[in-house]
Structure 1
């Protein structure tokens, strides 16, 4: 059991300590995860006033720590996969499956083990409504979970931080697996999105992902090009449905300082770039921005032949 899960048990049994939690600034009471009738979120119960009951119960719990009060989903999931992923995620396990008991939208929010009847939610809501919080059972467009993050994985992908050097806030489970709870703390929303740490300047992302640096401001933040959940591209978790569309989201002539690449792509002689991300086989005649440019290492400036133009970055397969 992790330190964070140890705190969960304390929350579940200390119903009279609500004012203290609020003073600490780590209270689930003041977050959208408070589904009680008095909760601050849009989704809440009609009359149920217990806060912890939607996830925990001190008695007659499911045989799952920490005093879990929900059935776990049994449906199969489509998990994330891409040619760039060295890990091999399987079906969700551990704490991630607990999160998915609400966030995959297959089990009623008010369905708890300790009650014979489903707790009724305001407005007749049963499961999480469609939206960013409802991930569904297709997790192929979400950051991978339930895989071992260990020295072996880092040996295959040197752009990952050695697990021994990870910040204490980023906890893996007892199997050294990365779970939803590695990045999210269900009881504390001080950083937004229930993140375990401040993600200003992509600090949380960079705690694991040791990408190279660039001085181009628009390329510094991971969220400029990527989104960790419900990403339109699926593989690579891009903000648009393919690489070129992601790049031309800025490089379309409407952003000062960003080259207008979209105008070049409208020419008769341009490459075909409008194809799916990460195809299983090479596509004849297809090219995309990242074939020549590495957004993580490219720099402004010029270079005389045979030097490499700094806008290429350290893209693979290109040498002076």
Structure 2
């Protein structure tokens, strides 16, 4: 996944909002979407971005960007989470997830709002006041990864495709021809050449090339979500969760999982 692609792919589960945001049109861009932070600010008149409607400035800046460490930080202006995360765990998962590297790529940036540790309207020198775990009319559901706990959320940070040493064994379309099961492989997860339902995007288009895993593609938050509301396929009139396939009939799940 190149930088241009990832700049349109930096998210996990979308911010929970009020009914006012439920009909936000898919593929209509950031302004007015549930990732338009000017709608959530607690800073009032002291926030120039909200005053002037600069929706990009809550995450990005053309000058003096955050560049600390070797994290993926695309002209970044938002405080980055310092949480240590506990990955998904289950008797049914064969993937190996290293908690020290599972946040590579866009996932750590997504969690910088979604884990509830940093206010969504924090940017530049402004310390925001709206954290995702607040139970009010803007944020009525708890944060994802609150206190670093992702043990009951969809796994990320693992090598995806069988061809790269990952778990997905295929096929890209149709049902698998089952032989003896190989540990660490899942015949019931489509390979990275599969397409998202209703889209020409492939799973491979949304995997992150991991430096820590020898350049192999891993799953991130952006494998399911499109933070910029340009490529998502949520049904018109439904809650726009910025999904890369519709949630109707669990089409997003079935883009990868063979059921």
The TM-score bracket by the shorter chain reads: 0.5 to 0.7
Judged with a 3 Å threshold, the aligned counterparts in structure 2 of structure 1 residues 169 and 61 are, in CA distance, closer, same or farther, namely farther
C-alpha displacement at 1:181, in angstroms? 0.7
Picking from 220, 224, 233, the partner of 1:179 is 220
How many corresponding residue pairs? 188
C-alpha displacement at 1:23, in angstroms? 10
Matches within 5 A, 1:254-293: none
1:82 aligns with 2:93: no
CA distance in 1, matches of 2:85, 2:253: 24
1:67 aligns with 2:72: no
C-alpha displacement at 1:80, in angstroms? 0.6
1:197 aligns with 2:197: no
8 A Cα contact 1:172 1:179, kept in partner? yes
Structure 1: gaps of 5 or more residues:
10-21, 212-320
Judged with a 3 Å threshold, the aligned counterparts in structure 2 of structure 1 residues 28 and 169 are, in CA distance, closer, same or farther, namely farther
Q: Greater share of helix residues, 1 or 2?
A: 1
Structure 2: gaps of 5 or more residues:
11-23, 170-184, 211-216, 235-239
C-alpha displacement at 1:127, in angstroms? 4.9
Picking from 143, 155, 160, the partner of 1:134 is 143
Judged with a 3 Å threshold, the aligned counterparts in structure 2 of structure 1 residues 127 and 209 are, in CA distance, closer, same or farther, namely closer
1:162 aligns with 2:191: yes
C-alpha displacement at 1:209, in angstroms? 0.5
Matches within 5 A, 1:1-320: 1-7=2-8, 25-36=27-38, 39=39, 43-45=40-42, 46-47=44-45, 48=50, 49-63=53-67, 64-91=72-99, 92-112=103-123, 115-119=124-128, 121=129, 125-130=130-135, 131-132=140-141, 134-135=143-144, 136=146, 137-151=148-162, 152=165, 153-155=167-169, 156-167=185-196, 168=201, 170=203, 171-175=206-210, 176-188=217-229, 191=234, 192-211=240-259
Higher RCO (CA 8 Å, separation ≥ 6 residues): 2
C-alpha displacement at 1:109, in angstroms? 2.2
Give secondary structure in 1 for the equivalent of 2:81.
coil
Please provide the CA RMSD for this pair. Answer: 2.7
Judged with a 3 Å threshold, the aligned counterparts in structure 2 of structure 1 residues 138 and 6 are, in CA distance, closer, same or farther, namely closer
Give secondary structure in 2 for the equivalent of 1:134.
coil
8 A Cα contact 2:194 2:202, kept in partner? no
TM-score (norm 2): 0.64
C-alpha displacement at 1:7, in angstroms? 4.4
Give secondary structure in 2 for the equivalent of 1:174.
strand
CA distance in 2, matches of 1:58, 1:186: 19
Give secondary structure in 2 for the equivalent of 1:163.
coil
8 A Cα contact 1:61 1:67, kept in partner? yes
